[in-house]
Amino acid sequence: MSADARDALRRLTAAFEEHLGAIATRRSDDDPAVDDAYEALGAAFLAYEDALDQEFAEGVPLVIDEDFEDDALDGHVAEDDDALDDDLDDFDLDR
């Protein structure tokens, strides 16, 4: 793995840690630290995926929310539990 992809992976791992930390220390349902960590995690994922594509013409077996890039700011906040459950119905988890 080249230095760019490895660095992107390091940043992605750190973004996962920050996201977990923000959720674990959430001060309210509208805690901006959680929103910031969500956005940083999405951006780090896209950067890692791009580095893999540029350097190796490879990707990862994960899909980011298609609306992330269009409305990353608080895009997940508007979803309720029923909508999230409906999203799960779109995935075949029995593979």
pLDDT tens for 76-90 read 445 555 555 555 555
Mean pLDDT of 6-30: 97
% of the chain exceeding 90 in pLDDT: 61
- Look up the pTM and report it: 0.68
Which of the two residues, 21 and 73, has the higher pLDDT score?
A: 21
pLDDT interval class at 68 (50, 70, 90): confident
Half-sphere exposure of 8 (CA within 13 A, CB side): 19
Q: Which residues of 33-57 are buried (b: 16+ CB within 10 A; e: fewer)?
A: ebbebbbbbbbbbbbbbebbeeeee
* Per-residue confidence (pLDDT) for residue 91, from 0 to 100: 53
